């Protein structure tokens, strides 16, 4: 686990493409401080936040033993927003934490709202010359699209870089975000693919494009659904409604599911 965590954090640093020198980095979902130790060994200063008190306790214990990083630690749920002053950090990394915002732990938690709250606060706390690289494990393609759409909605540019997209074990998703909204942001090349195969499964899709394609796909699906409503489909649906005891179900006639003439 340590070697994998170190490898992912080093890859995140590579994708950040930081200029020479030390930088002030926010580590979201820092856990026991393994990723923070990598940041510190690279010469950077860092602040870590995590929702798990037990993992933070391990990070404090490791720090006391000299095995962990020396960053400041904060117990905090990133889904409620980030409690820092505007433009505090030069950059941000997150390792294997972002996907948890796609789940609800209670009735008052809504994934999309938590994602928007998180990305809105991240947009504020980063300097405009900075970048964020958030490594995550989406359970479905829909989760990856939702995350990208929320990041784009608050103003970020960028996209998802997928390393080794054809490998089950080595496949890693990195959401790379920046502030060049009005410009074409060149996405880094993904590992395990050709140079032209970038982002979202190697297709070169940005966070803005993800949102547009999702809306276009939904519109196309809605528009084409009427063509599939054959007479048998309508009759079967009406029968199901009758079995459920629903009222106001029209009688079957020769005009059922008959196509009406187009309006002028």
pLDDT tens by residue, 108-154: 889 999 999 999 999 999 999 999 999 999 999 999 999 999 999 99
B/e letters for 31-50, b = 16+ CB within 10 Å, e = fewer, are bbbbbbbbbbeeebbbbbbb
**Which residue in the block uniquely carries the two structure tokens 């870590």?**
48
Q: Is the dihedral of CA 56, 105, 145, 82 positive or negative?
A: negative
**Which residue in the block uniquely carries the two structure tokens 């998180």?**
118
pTM above 0.85, yes or no: no
What pLDDT, on the 0 to 100 scale, is given for residue 216? 57
Answer whether residue 203 shows pLDDT above 70.
no
Whether 104 contacts 111, CB under 8 Å: yes
What pLDDT, on the 0 to 100 scale, is given for residue 119? 98
Question: pLDDT tens for residues 158-176?
Answer: 999 999 999 888 999 999 9
Helix axes 141-153, 207-225, angle to 10 degrees: 120
What pLDDT, on the 0 to 100 scale, is given for residue 233? 81
Residue (of 93, 59, 56) closest to 75 by Cα position: 56
**What residue ranges define each of the domains in the chain, with the CATH number in brackets?**
2-217 (3.40.50.150)
pLDDT, the chain, mean? 84
């Amino acid at each position: 686990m340590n070697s994998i965590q170190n490898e992912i954090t080093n890859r995140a640093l590579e994708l950040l493409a930081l200029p020479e020198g030390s930088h002030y980095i926010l580590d979201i979902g820092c856990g026991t401080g393994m990723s923070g130790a990598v940041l510190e060994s690279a010469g950077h200063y860092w602040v870590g936040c995590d929702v798990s008190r037990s993992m933070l306790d391990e990070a404090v214990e490791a720090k006391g033993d000299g095995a962990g990083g020396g960053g400041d630690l904060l117990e905090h749920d990133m889904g409620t927003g980030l409690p820092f002053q505007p433009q505090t950090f030069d950059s941000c990394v997150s390792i294997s934490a972002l996907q948890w915002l796609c789940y609800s732990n209670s009735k008052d938690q809504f994934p999309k709202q938590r994602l928007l709250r998180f990305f809105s606060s991240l947009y504020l706390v980063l300097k405009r010359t900075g970048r964020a690289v958030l490594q995550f494990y989406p359970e479905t393609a829909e989760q990856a699209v939702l995350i990208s759409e929320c990041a784009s909605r608050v103003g970020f540019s960028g996209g998802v870089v997928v390393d080794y997209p054809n490998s089950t074990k080595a496949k890693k998703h990195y959401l790379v975000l920046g502030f060049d909204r009005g410009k074409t942001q060149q996405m880094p090349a993904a590992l395990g693919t050709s140079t032209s195969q970038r982002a979202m499964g190697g297709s070169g899709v940005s966070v803005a494009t993800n949102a547009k394609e999702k809306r276009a796909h939904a519109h196309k699906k809605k528009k084409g659904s009427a063509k599939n409503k054959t007479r048998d489909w309508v009759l079967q649906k009406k029968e199901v409604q009758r079995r459920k005891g629903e009222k106001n179900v029209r009688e079957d006639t020769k005009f059922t599911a008959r196509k009406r003439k187009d309006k002028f």
